[in-house]
Structures are given as C-alpha cells and as structure tokens.
Amino acid sequence: MKVVRWNTLYPEKRTTVSDRKAHKYPYLLGGLKVARSNQVWAIDITYIPMKRGFMYLFAIIDLYSRYVVGWSLSNTMTAEWCVETLKEAIARYGKPEVINSDQGSQFTCDCYIELLKTNEIQISMDGKGRTMDNIFIERLWRSVKQEYVYLNPCETGQDLWRGLNGYFLFYNTERPHQGIENVPPEKLYTSLVMAA
C-alpha cells in the first residue's frame, strides 16, 4: 500500500468545539497520584460511524480502575445530554472528587459547571491541543472502536445501543486490562469502593 501510495480515508468529526467566552479551568491531574476509585473520573465524546450516518458516544471512566461508570448515545452533542448522563452516574456510583474533561462547549457551559459545583466536584480541563491529558479515555475510544464498532457496523441507533451495552458489560466485567495487572475494571473498582 505504501508503494502505490494508498491511504485509508474515513470521516472524522470535530467533537471538541471551544467557546471563547465560556468557563475554563486548569488541568488538575498533573502530578496527582490517582490511588482509589471515585477519586478522578474522565469524560469525553467521540464519533461513532454506522452503515448509514453516525452517532455520538459520551462516556465516563473511573481513572483508577478504568471502570466505565456511565455512557450514552445521541445524534446531537448537547450539554444537557452529557449532564443527564453524568447525573445518572453520580446517582448510581456516588460522586468523584475530580472530573476531567476537554474544553469542549458541552463541558464549559453553565449547566455542566453548575452540576459539578453543586456536587462539590473539582473541575479539571485538558489544555488546548494536549491529547495526552485525557489519555485513558482516548484509549477507551480505541478499544471500543477496534474491538466492537469497526467489526460490527450497525444499521440503526437501537442496534448500536444494544451492541455497545453488551460491549461495555464485557469491558467492565470480563476484559482483562493491561494497565491494571490484567484484571477486569469492575474487580478493581468494586473492591476499593466496598472497602471505602
């Protein structure tokens, strides 16, 4: 392929659009030792291609255990969609001490900032153009896409939801994770949450 100069072409959507007037916060994870579950959550949105069209996937991951505490699909990227998913995760798992995000408009708007402040959650944001600041959720996106999405192109949003629901159940409860001594994320997440 290199000899004949063939390149793979695929659509990529911009999911991070920053609002210059919106709230901006510093990156709090530099030098921070993440030593327990629910200490730091990371959130992000990614583009999911389908046979016809696309959807957006929002996920929340516990950085210590790599456990996916919440996710949802939408055909639009509204702040309200992200806030509702985050509220559900907090109601189910309790609140983290810190949430890290990029500087996208969904994470700099009033309703998102107010939710975190009301719950006394520290707000951390990646620096502009610093993809390594949110590397754990970027690795989650790579796993989701390479292990499920690209192998199972879906026709409808319902098919995609069902497939991702099964994948995240597998990811959390069965899939060994190299970054946490080859145990499934749920094992590490629940052992530390139960001990706390």
Is residue 136 in some structural domain?
Answer: yes
In 10 A of CB 130, how many CB atoms? 13
Is residue 105 in some structural domain?
Answer: yes
pLDDT grade for 16, boundaries at 50, 70 and 90: low
Is residue 91 in some structural domain?
Answer: yes
Provide the domain count of the chain: 1
Interval 59-98: pLDDT, tens: 999 999 999 999 999 999 999 999 999 999 999 999 999 9
Q: Cα dist. 131→15, 56, 102 in Å?
A: 13, 19, 9
Handedness of CA 153, 157, 158, 160 (dihedral sign): positive
Q: Which of 66, 100, 87, 52 is nearest to 176 (CA)?
A: 66
Q: Which of 123, 126, 135, 130 is nearest to 66 (CA)?
A: 135
- CATH label of the domain that carries residue 190: 3.30.420.10
31 residue type, one letter: G
Is residue 13 in some structural domain?
Answer: no
pTM of the predicted structure, to 2 decimals: 0.84
Is residue 188 in some structural domain?
Answer: yes
